[in-house]
Structure 1
Amino acid sequence: MPRVRISKSRRNAELALLLLAMLLVAVYSATIEANLFDTVTPDFWVPTAALAAVFLSLHVVIRFLAPYADPVLLPAVALLNGIGVGFLRRIDLAKADPDERMHFPIFAGIGGRQLAWTLAAVILAAALLVVVRDHRSLSRNPYTIGLAGIVLVLIPAVLPGSMSEVNGAKLWIKFGGFQIQPGEFAKLALLVFFAYYLVRKREVLSLASRRFLGIDFPRGRDLGPVVGVWVVSLMVLVFEKDLGTSLLYFGMFVVTLYIATERVSWLIIGLLLFFGGAFLAYFLGGTIGGPFANFHLRAEIWLDPFADPYNDGYQLVQGLLGLGTGGLFGAGPGGGQPLKVPEVQNDFIFAGLGEELGLFGLSALLVIYLLVVERGLRAALAVRDSFGKLLAGGLAFTLGLQVFVIVGGISKLIPLTGQTTPFLSAGGSSLMANWLLIAVLLRVSDAARRPVTGNSPARPANAGPAVPEQLHGAPTEVIRP
């Protein structure tokens, strides 16, 4: 049967790419040990084998539950995740006593914890594929999901600093020896609500009141949603003291709004509002201090990190020096000095990788991120319902925006944001949330690539002529070949 052969071909391609990705991770791990020890230990392959087992298990789940899903997403993300685990183990080896490095436990330290978090994240992604058989089911309780997202955003802001603040930003919930960053999960919940809301309000928000410089601008009374989200993003900036999260929430709403309406004016208005808010926060932080002081300090470090290179500007300066030292080809995996960069396992992991992989290596990593974003946008273009288009487009853009603000902060293009690098940085919250994001993209891409003829669930054999689908009263035209 043709449709069976096509789905098997895609899954076989996914399997081949996944095995190639794990081979690259194994070579990376072996090279790290060769540079650190001048030899390769007999069990260097064990972390890679554990990762391969985890990812192959997810591949089997996809083969049965999402047979038409994009075959590139899982291998690309698995490669990023594997390199992240390998680099974190490299940091563990660098921190260990020189006499004990050769015998450092495989599942100990930051790298061991990241391996465990990878297992938990992949299990969570597989569970989502099991529970959510149709991405449109996410739109059945949009207000509940949206409210849950808002609550997750606000919890760290109302908690005392001792339970929520890390490095000046109130983004965490800490109890005992455990901590979680709820904002990572909030972005997924809010995107579901944004997609639902914009499907319903798309026609109203597409209306133009006047044309200026060849661009149609919306009516004044339709600016309410954008202004509302702008105020919320400013509140995140003020009360949680985090520019990156504020930019992420506001950016993903404005871009989802642009995808829904195709109005460039929304992007222009969004950029003006965000930069206006950032300038206001910077000005107030320099005059009255208070909740704006943290952002003002970050902006001052960004403007001139070498003004205080041994205190406030130390992290950024060391990151820039690491990137510069790496040059074009880098010092080689395990050949650099990443421990000179504070928090290299979190915010500045790209700087540590840049020193060892060089410009070409970092460019390759960015190309992989670009590939993941491109495949997500391709799924958004191909899926037949408007909710799926907005959801997949928003998820893909959110991932790309997060990478941009991280790399932009490390390279001094924009102020430091404190965001984690998806799939690379240490941390369970980010890893689980981003694997959930990939699971949703896999589900949407499966629906987008699934045939609509024959006995396909998307188009029963006895169905009549194609008719517009309904999503809670919002018509979306289904185009049939």
Structure 2
Amino acid sequence: MSTDVSADTAVLKALKRIRTPQKQRNREFWLLLFAVLIAGSALTLVQLGALGTVDPVILAIGGGLAVLAFALHIVLRVVASDADPFVVPIATLLTGLGIAMIYRIDIAKSFTGWDAYSTKQLAWTGISLAGAIAAVILLRNYRVLFRYTYIFGFAGIVFLLLPFVPGLRIPDANAAVWVSLGGAFAFQPGEIAKICLAIFFAGYLVRTRESLTSVGTRFLGMTWPRMRELGPVLVVWLISLGIIVLQRDLGTGTLIFGMFVAMLYVATGKTSWVVIGLGLVAAGVALATQILSYVRGRFINWLFLFDPNQVDPERAGYQPMQGLFGLAHGGMLGTGWGQGRPWVTPLAHSDYIITSLGEEIGLIGLFAILCLYMVFVSRGVRIGLAGQDDFGKLLAIGFSFTIALQVFIMVGGVTRLIPLTGLTTPFLAAGGSSLVANWLIVALLLRISDGVRRQPRVVIG
């Protein structure tokens, strides 16, 4: 009798394991459908609010991108059935809301055709989704990336140095972070570099974690590392400072160093690394403020924005002031899609897209967007914590922290919580290289989640 009960229990567990992936994908389908409907509704409301009519062409293009999103869903059903069901719908919804806002600003400025930022963003969205599909199909086992740890590290440094190659850098750019191929195609190699460096950091920390955690000096209740272990942190710190100095890119330098310190803490569990990281950040900020005029100017704008004796309201202070006025104009509920004046703020489609959205969908709408980011990051952290191998754990948490840090830097910058830096708000802001990089992060998170959840299944037949 007991043998029969045990056999029945084993069969039920096997059936449950077989049904779980299908249930995950069904959940993803309905969430993705909801995301597509919300994004399409936002695009329609923009047209009705700003134009008083509906343009079927833009909706047809948006529908084509929705087809690509569902194509990714179908691919996941076939090759990664255990992948997390929340990541793709959230990324799709954020991308769709960003396109709607960018399109709204194009309408106000009468940008059409290839001159319109929304047209370029739609094209880049198609490329990003296609790249994510290709990455999910081609990368069957994310652990293979561990073999090429140092190659990815070298590639990341090369990408960061590309803007200094003669003939590639765009000369009139404010920061030396853009490269151009033939004058017709421009991208920001630093966005791809952050993915390569995240893979390198994860692989390096897995290889050296034992020495990082087992040795050191006990002081002030914490174990402090030896100089031998501290060396890599100092190297990354110097690379980050070099990016800030040579490329005039405060955002990327902060992002790379912050990502490394976060992954270092996860790998070792030592609070001392966080203290060291914060100390190096403070030292780097103090040094950059003293020797770099543009960094000092950003801190002056942050601290004395409404002091006309410190900041010229018609020049350096104009953009941040207009962004704050736009947020105030939106209030709690917003003016409504197509009813505000977000284009008054310079770079409202990219650096200040958060204030543009805040004006038209209000503080409640912005809170909903931040909740989407919070769920996205929490799912990424959960993927990492569920993993059995240290490499997948560090990689998933590293990617999640990268997205979280970008959101914090941009939202904090436009709301004057911290000084503004030159990064893009993930998935929302106009920018092709950023969109491609973030969707590649989505693909890698999907592959990691499928790998850590996949278990041997009992085949009944």
Is the Cα–Cα contact under 8 Å of residues 244 and 417 in structure 1 kept in the other structure?
A: yes
Match of 1:252 among 259, 268, 271: 259
Cα distance change on mapping 1:44 and 1:131 into 2, 3 Å? closer
Match of 1:152 among 142, 156, 159: 159
Which residue pairs with 1:289 in the alignment? none
Aligned length: 441
Equivalents in 2 of 1:109, 1:360: separation in Å?
A: 28
Deviation at residue 44 of structure 1 after TM alignment: 6.2
Equivalents in 2 of 1:350, 1:13: separation in Å?
A: 29
Q: In the TM superposition, what are the counterparts of 1:63-212 in structure 2 within 5 Å?
A: 63-96=77-110, 109-159=116-166, 163-165=169-171, 167-175=173-181, 176-212=183-219
Unaligned 5+ residue runs, structure 1?
98-103, 285-291, 456-481
Aligned residue for 1:141, secondary structure, equals: helix
Which residue pairs with 1:376 in the alignment? 380
Match of 2:360 among 343, 351, 356: 356
Q: Per-residue CA shift, 1:270-317, capped at 9, x if unaligned? A: 011011111111012xxxxxxx22212222222222321110121111
Equivalents in 2 of 1:172, 1:299: separation in Å?
A: 24
Larger relative helix fraction: 2
Opposite residue 360 of structure 2, the aligned amino acid is: E
Q: Per-residue CA shift, 1:245-287, capped at 9, x if unaligned? A: 0000101111111110011110110011011111111012xxx
Opposite residue 70 of structure 1, the aligned amino acid is: D
Q: Is residue 2:317 matched to residue 1:313? A: yes
Cα distance change on mapping 1:159 and 1:331 into 2, 3 Å? farther
Equivalents in 2 of 1:170, 1:23: separation in Å?
A: 39
Deviation at residue 212 of structure 1 after TM alignment: 3.6
Deviation at residue 158 of structure 1 after TM alignment: 4.8
Which residue pairs with 2:38 in the alignment? 24
Match of 2:270 among 263, 266, 280: 263
Aligned residue for 2:169, secondary structure, equals: helix
Is the Cα–Cα contact under 8 Å of residues 169 and 241 in structure 1 kept in the other structure?
A: yes
Q: TM-score, normalised by structure 1?
A: 0.88
Which residue pairs with 2:11 in the alignment? none
Deviation at residue 108 of structure 1 after TM alignment: 7.2
Q: Is residue 2:67 matched to residue 1:53? A: yes
Aligned residue for 2:216, secondary structure, equals: strand
Whose RCO is larger (CA < 8 A, sep 6+)? 2
Mean CA deviation greater in 247-256 or 37-46: 37-46
Equivalents in 2 of 1:165, 1:394: separation in Å?
A: 33
Is the Cα–Cα contact under 8 Å of residues 51 and 82 in structure 1 kept in the other structure?
A: no
Is the Cα–Cα contact under 8 Å of residues 252 and 423 in structure 2 kept in the other structure?
A: yes
Opposite residue 334 of structure 2, the aligned amino acid is: G
Which residue pairs with 1:345 in the alignment? 349
Opposite residue 109 of structure 1, the aligned amino acid is: A
Q: TM-score, normalised by structure 2?
A: 0.92
Q: Is residue 2:243 matched to residue 1:236? A: yes
Opposite residue 185 of structure 1, the aligned amino acid is: I
Q: Per-residue CA shift, 1:395-418, capped at 9, x if unaligned? A: 110111011111111111111111
Unaligned 5+ residue runs, structure 2?
1-14
Which residue pairs with 1:288 in the alignment? none
Is the Cα–Cα contact under 8 Å of residues 326 and 357 in structure 1 kept in the other structure?
A: yes
Equivalents in 1 of 2:414, 2:272: separation in Å?
A: 30
Cα distance change on mapping 1:26 and 1:305 into 2, 3 Å? same
Equivalents in 2 of 1:38, 1:411: separation in Å?
A: 32
Equivalents in 1 of 2:147, 2:225: separation in Å?
A: 29
Equivalents in 2 of 1:145, 1:411: separation in Å?
A: 35
Equivalents in 2 of 1:357, 1:167: separation in Å?
A: 32
Aligned residue for 1:179, secondary structure, equals: strand
Opposite residue 227 of structure 2, the aligned amino acid is: G
RMSD (Å), alpha carbons: 1.9
Is the Cα–Cα contact under 8 Å of residues 18 and 457 in structure 2 kept in the other structure?
A: no
Deviation at residue 19 of structure 1 after TM alignment: 0.4
Match of 1:394 among 367, 389, 398: 398
Which residue pairs with 2:448 in the alignment? 444
Deviation at residue 231 of structure 1 after TM alignment: 0.6
Equivalents in 2 of 1:212, 1:328: separation in Å?
A: 49
Q: Is residue 2:8 matched to residue 1:4? A: no
Deviation at residue 36 of structure 1 after TM alignment: 1.6
Equivalents in 2 of 1:226, 1:335: separation in Å?
A: 49
Aligned residue for 1:174, secondary structure, equals: strand
